[in-house]
Structure 1
Amino acid sequence: MTPEETANLTNLIMVKRNQLQLSVNEVARRADISPTMMWRIEQGLIANTRMDRLLAITDALGITRTDLFTTIGWLPAADLPTLSTYLRVKYYHLPDAVIRHIARDVTKIVHAYNNRTDTDESCPECTDRQPDHPADHGGQS
């Protein structure tokens, strides 16, 4: 893996582990690897981790193979399905009109974000944002 792919992998693992509130030792136990090995992988100290170890770790964390392979560059973004195709498969119960609506909204947000000149991290199209601080909405809850 390239240094960037290694960084992406370690970020994916660390973020998911933290979301699940699992310790390095617990993930190592679930993946049947040593805690030291798990820590070294998460820290990016092993750039070419064996695939069986990566699969064990990602399985323990509930990370899909698609997310893993995309993160480490084995599945290029160009090979991913279109948003509409993904939505139709993932949310097969939704009507086509809803799929089109979601895809249109995502495209609008991405387009607006890509055309920005500021460095603000907020979504330029999200009008339903909640104020970050009670004072932002007149002190009312």
Structure 2
Amino acid sequence: MDKKQAQALGKLLRLSREKAGLSGRELADRSGMAASNVLRLEQGTIANPRPETLKSLADVLDLDLSDLYAAAGYIQPEGLPSFAPYLRSKYSGLPASAQRELETSFAKIAAKHGYDPNGPQPGEDETE
């Protein structure tokens, strides 16, 4: 990440923290970070924040993690994950049986509507 990206990430974090009504120390405590590291991130002096750090901050500040990754210059995959891993990640607080129930329900709905979760094959969705 270059200096400009680090500063942009810092600004995003500072504005998000202020919007949440948190002090730097409160954000640090809630995210498990040292207050000095929060300050350094907001000042744009940490060039390569760890992905785990960004995840902690995103959780506390209720930010989309992909937005923070993009601001930090981390490469993200082109495509989206399949629905089952998404459900397990999004609803990780649910018991495993409930997660399986969600996956099963989605599969039934997809089948009912003729949806292929693997998507169209190359050339199948192009129009002439």
TM-score when normalising by structure 2:
0.54
- Residue aligned with 1:22, SS: coil
Tell me the residue number matched to 2:89.
Answer: none
Question: Once the 2 structures are TM-superposed, how far is the Cα of residue 69 of structure 1 from its aligned partner?
Answer: 2.0
CA distance in 2, matches of 1:34, 1:9: 18
User: Could you tell me which residue of structure 2 aligns to residue 24 of structure 1?
Assistant: 24
> Over the residues paired in the alignment, what is the CA RMSD in angstroms?
2.1
**2-side partners of 1:50 and 1:7: how far apart?**
16
Alpha-carbon offset, residue 75 of structure 1 = 5.2
Q: Shift in Å at residue 74 of structure 1?
A: 2.9
Q: For the residues of structure 1 that align with 2:24 and 2:37, how far apart are their CA atoms?
A: 10
Percent identity, please.
29
Matched residues, number:
79
Give the partner amino acid of 1:74: Y
Q: How does 1:1-141 map to 2 (within 5 A)?
A: 1-74=1-74
Q: What do residues 79-124 of structure 1 show as CA deviations (whole Å, max 9, x unaligned)?
A: 69xxxxxxxxxxxxxxxxxxxxxxxxxxxxxxxxxxxxxxxxxxxx
Unmatched 5+ residue regions in structure 1? 81-141
Letter in 1 for 2:12: L
In the alignment, the residues of structure 1 paired with residue 16 and residue 27 of structure 2 have an alpha-carbon distance, to the nearest angstrom, of: 11
Q: Distance in 1 between matches of 2:10 and 2:36?
A: 15
The answer (yes or no) to whether the contact 1:9–1:68 under 8 Å persists in 2 is: yes
Structure 1 Cα separation of the partners of residues 69 and 36 of structure 2:
24
3-state secondary structure, aligned to 2:73: coil
Aligned to 1:48, what secondary structure does the other structure show? Answer: coil
Is the CA contact 1:30–1:60 (under 8 Å) kept in the aligned structure 2?
yes
TM-score (norm. length: structure 1): 0.50
Deviating above 6 A after TM superposition, structure 1's stretches of 4 or more consecutive aligned residues are none
Q: Partner residue of 1:122?
A: none
Mapped contact 1:24–1:38 kept (Cα < 8 A): yes
